[in-house]
Structure 1
Amino acid sequence: MELLGDGPVRLQGILSHIGLCKRLMNAASDDIK
């Protein structure tokens, strides 16, 4: 199990990815209005 190898770095990457997805969703919902 190498998933826990670089925990903080991986967690930061996941959080930034989630933030990017939220921004994309917000932009899409703005286009729909």
Structure 2
Amino acid sequence: MIIMDSKAQLTVDVIAKVSQGKVSIINAVKLLNDVV
């Protein structure tokens, strides 16, 4: 099992949601900008 820090985990989660169409690209960018 790969263990990642919370920032990496959130990034993966956001990308997964975008790929499923649950979150718009714009909202995803905003989320990632808040994290970084």
Length-normalised TM-score, structure 1: 0.51
- Aligned identity (percent) is 0
Unaligned stretches of 5+ residues in structure 2: 23-36
Hey, which bits of structure 1, 4+ residues long, moved more than 2 A? none
Unaligned stretches of 5+ residues in structure 1: 1-10
Cα RMSD (Å): 2.2
Q: Going by fraction, where is helix more abundant, 1 or 2?
A: 1
* Number of aligned positions between the proteins: 19
Structure with the greater alpha carbon radius of gyration: 1
Point out which structure has higher relative CO (alpha carbons under 8 A, 6+ apart): 2
